[in-house]
Amino acid sequence: MSTIVSAYPHDGPAAERQFGISANQVGGLLWNLRFQVALRMLQQALASARLRTSLVLLLSIVFWVVMFVLFQEGFSLILGTIDDPGTLAHTFHAIFNLFFLSLFAMLTVSTAIVLYSTAYRSDEVRYLLTTPAHPRRILLYKYQESTLFSGWGFFLLGSPILMAYGSVVAAPWYYFALLLPFMLAFVLIPSGLGTLACMVVVRYLPTLRYHTWAIVAFGGIVCLAVFSWSLVNGVHGTEVLTPEWFQASLARLRYTQQELFPSYWLSTGLLEAAHPAEVGSQSSIQVALGMLNVLAANAMMMYLLVGWCAQRLFTTGYSELARLSSSTIRQSSGRMESIVHRLAFPLPLPMRLLLIKDIRGFLRDATQWSQFVIFFSLLAFYFLNVRRFQFGSALPQWIVTVGTMNVAVVGLILATFTTRFIFPMISLEGRRFWILGTLPIDRGWVLWSKFLFSCGISLVPCSLLIALSDIMLQIHTQWPIIAVVHQIECAALCCGLSALAVGLGARLPNLRETSPSKIAAGFGGTLNLVLSTGFILAIVLISSVPVYFWVHEQTARSLPSRWLHQVIDATGLGSLTAVVVGAILVAVLGAITTIVPMRTGVRSFRRL
């Protein structure tokens, strides 16, 4: 007798009602459990890690305040610049629509990724699926959790912007009261879409999932690139950032204002709530509440749709995914190994073997290389377009400043990469410490191999990106020495950021956690990101100040204030010597930031 499983009826709500605990009770139990766990974690954080908790809280508050002030200034500038009320309303509508549509896309993708790891790859779900909890309820619980994980960034970013807007236009009280319901209703829709996408991909394309994500990511980059290109280059015969260009760009953004987009309902509702004027026969509050109703209705429908699909797709997809666990990796041709052995020939053999192991892990972990490729592709695209912002009448110092800022941007992207992927490596290695700990090798080699791995994969793309930026800004022809300084900065950043991540990772390991993203989000990861940002700022400031004044001296433009002249004369900042000294200081700072964290890390790692 042979029964084909697909002939089975799906687990239905009837099953939920007929037997044991009801679906609603399961939902309540799971949330009660989550609340209990969160409370326990908070208690522990307050009892044993006050500094860490205070730092996280402080940084969040600082971020919120900075965003609030920045956007308040920005909105005030727009209000002060545009006189025509119609154009002003149109401008704000375009800004809000574009902003929320972008967030909609990001929330969709991030929820899909988060749900994949929390619903399909988590030990908790593996356990829950063996209990009488209905799979539909488990998936809905994970959907809510993923929404929370991916939505907090939306709240952190969106709330200061919307509050700033409300304060600038002196919005009535109900605008502020409606912010939370609007944001809550909105966030459920993209996260629902992401959940559905994840379930469909896992159920029907389990073997293609990495490739699917890579194709989606690549498609996203291409669309974004085409859109940005059309935005910047589409207005022929007009200089960028002129009023004409601005008007034409607003017209080109009209497609973001489709009435069927949830971002449109959110933008329209909030903008109407902020301006208590009559709109035809309806008051603005009525329009706002109408939009909120539309959003809430769609959010609830999305919730039902997720539940309906979960009933049909979740357990089957979960079961199908297990097929992948036995897939064998094609034996590599050994080309990568021979390249590493040849390039790293002065290193001891164990270090080369460790390097090969890490490179292999990197290449097989699509989440690592895909994020690396996406971020650096976006940067490359921006750098390719940077000349389009014509600098004909701009001060040469500004061109150099843009070049310096580009170096800083590359550094910041690299810092997020090292924090997310390099910092947790030691913690994860620590869990498998019985392998490396029992080998007859110096433990310091383990750390140095990780440092070389991080430097190796970051140095070439970063260096090429910065060279591209300098070429597009024509810095390499006008001031070749600055291009050299930028390359020194790049080398210092790659070495310093890699050493910080590896060293701090060894100094503050989290051996209990198995998820690299959670390790990166912990205290050590946060500290690494903060220190990395400080290091990038220091590197950029040390080199850019003498470069800026040297270019000023070269082009004989006048400085805005007299005291600056006195400072330059007194310090010799405007000379080529100052530029060279700046570059040397950058190299020294890079070396110190490499050696000190690595030594500290090696000492800690040897004591493990």
Report the residue from 24, 35, 40, 211 that binds another protein according to the rule CB under 8 A: 40
Report the residue number, 323 or 357, with the smaller CB distance to another protein. Answer: 323
Binding mask 204-223 for another protein (x = CB under 8 A): ---x----------------
Instruction: Find the helix or strand (DSSP H, E) in which 282 lies.
Output: strand 282-283
Residue 322 binds to another protein (criterion: CB under 8 A): yes
The DSSP result for 243-267, as a single string, is HHHHHHHHHHGGGGG-TTSHHHHHH
> CA-to-CA distance for 331 and 449, rounded, in angstroms?
23
Report the residue from 29, 224, 373, 567 that binds another protein according to the rule CB under 8 A: 29
Residue 323 binds to another protein (criterion: CB under 8 A): yes
Report the residue from 60, 87, 131, 571 that binds another protein according to the rule CB under 8 A: 131
Please provide the distance, in angstroms rounded to a whole number, between the alpha carbons at the two ends of the chain.
57
Residue 311 binds to another protein (criterion: CB under 8 A): no
- Binding window for another protein (CB under 8 A); candidates: 238-246, 314-322, 419-427, 444-452: 314-322
Question: Sign of the CA dihedral 114, 117, 120, 125?
Answer: negative
Report the residue from 8, 173, 345, 434 that binds another protein according to the rule CB under 8 A: 8
Three-class SS of residue 2? coil
CB of 208 to another protein, least distance (A): 13
Report the residue from 48, 281, 327, 438 that binds another protein according to the rule CB under 8 A: 327
Report the residue from 134, 203, 450, 507 that binds another protein according to the rule CB under 8 A: 134
CB contact set of 323 (below 8 Å; sequence gap of 6+): 206, 207
- Binding window for another protein (CB under 8 A); candidates: 144-152, 315-323, 329-337, 353-361: 315-323
Task: Identify the CA nearest to 195 among candidates 112, 71, 264, 267.
Answer: 112
How far are the Cα atoms of 12, 70, 275 from residue 495, in angstroms, in the given order? 57, 32, 52
Report the residue number, 137 or 275, with the smaller CB distance to another protein. Answer: 137
Residue 243 binds to another protein (criterion: CB under 8 A): no
Task: Identify the CA nearest to 273 among candidates 183, 191, 190.
Answer: 183
CB atoms within 10 A of CB 195: 31
Residue 21 binds to another protein (criterion: CB under 8 A): yes
Residue 123 binds to another protein (criterion: CB under 8 A): yes
Report the residue number, 327 or 333, with the smaller CB distance to another protein. Answer: 327
Is residue 553 a contact partner of residue 578, using CB atoms and an 8 Å limit?
Answer: no
CB of 311 to another protein, least distance (A): 12
Report the residue from 110, 267, 315, 427 that binds another protein according to the rule CB under 8 A: 315
Report the residue number, 200 or 287, with the smaller CB distance to another protein. Answer: 200
Report the residue number, 9 or 80, with the smaller CB distance to another protein. Answer: 9
Report the residue from 48, 281, 325, 333 that binds another protein according to the rule CB under 8 A: 325
Report the residue number, 325 or 333, with the smaller CB distance to another protein. Answer: 325
CB of 428 to another protein, least distance (A): 17
Residue 1 binds to another protein (criterion: CB under 8 A): yes
Report the residue from 60, 62, 74, 130 that binds another protein according to the rule CB under 8 A: 130
CB contact set of 21 (below 8 Å; sequence gap of 6+): 29, 132, 133
- Per-residue three-class SS string for 316-366: HHHHHHHHHHHCCCCCCCCHHHHHHHHHCCCCCHHHHHHHHHHHHHHHHCH
Report the residue number, 63 or 127, with the smaller CB distance to another protein. Answer: 127
CB of 22 to another protein, least distance (A): 9
What's the angle, vertex CA 26, arms to CA 21 and CA 29, rounded to 5?
Answer: 120
- Binding window for another protein (CB under 8 A); candidates: 28-36, 502-510, 546-554, 575-583: 28-36
CB of 510 to another protein, least distance (A): 12
Report the residue from 24, 25, 54, 555 that binds another protein according to the rule CB under 8 A: 25
Report the residue from 318, 383, 451, 549 that binds another protein according to the rule CB under 8 A: 318
Size of the site for another protein (CB under 8 A): 46
Report the residue number, 50 or 512, with the smaller CB distance to another protein. Answer: 512
> CA-to-CA distance for 520 and 512, rounded, in angstroms?
13
Is residue 223 a contact partner of residue 333, using CB atoms and an 8 Å limit?
Answer: no
Alpha-helix runs per DSSP H in 239-330: 243-252, 262-274, 284-321
Binding mask 519-558 for another protein (x = CB under 8 A): ----------------------------------------
CA 483 to chain centre: 28
> CA-to-CA distance for 320 and 313, rounded, in angstroms?
10
> CA-to-CA distance for 448 and 193, rounded, in angstroms?
43
Query: Could you tell me the two tokens for 515?
Result: 């998820």
Is residue 590 a contact partner of residue 495, using CB atoms and an 8 Å limit?
Answer: yes
State the virtual CA torsion across 480, 482, 488, 489 in degrees, nearest 10. Answer: -150
536-553 b/e (C-beta count within 10 Å ≥ 16 → b): bebbbebbbbbbbbbbbb
Report the residue number, 45 or 79, with the smaller CB distance to another protein. Answer: 45
Query: Could you tell me the two tokens for 589?
Result: 């700072």
* CB-facing half-sphere around the CA of 325: CA atoms within 13 A: 7
Report the residue number, 44 or 474, with the smaller CB distance to another protein. Answer: 44
Three-class SS of residue 278? strand
Report the residue number, 29 or 82, with the smaller CB distance to another protein. Answer: 29
> CA-to-CA distance for 505 and 499, rounded, in angstroms?
9
> CA-to-CA distance for 289 and 269, rounded, in angstroms?
7
Residue 512 binds to another protein (criterion: CB under 8 A): yes
CB atoms within 10 A of CB 482: 24
Report the residue from 326, 331, 393, 561 that binds another protein according to the rule CB under 8 A: 326
- Binding window for another protein (CB under 8 A); candidates: 23-31, 62-70, 98-106, 574-582: 23-31
Residue 316 binds to another protein (criterion: CB under 8 A): yes
Is residue 197 a contact partner of residue 112, using CB atoms and an 8 Å limit?
Answer: yes
Residue 434 binds to another protein (criterion: CB under 8 A): no
Report the residue from 121, 126, 565, 603 that binds another protein according to the rule CB under 8 A: 126
Q: Would you tell me which residues interact with another protein (CB under 8 A)?
A: 1-5, 8-9, 11, 15-16, 18-21, 25-26, 29, 33, 36-37, 40-41, 44, 123-124, 126-127, 129-135, 207, 315-316, 318-319, 322-327, 512
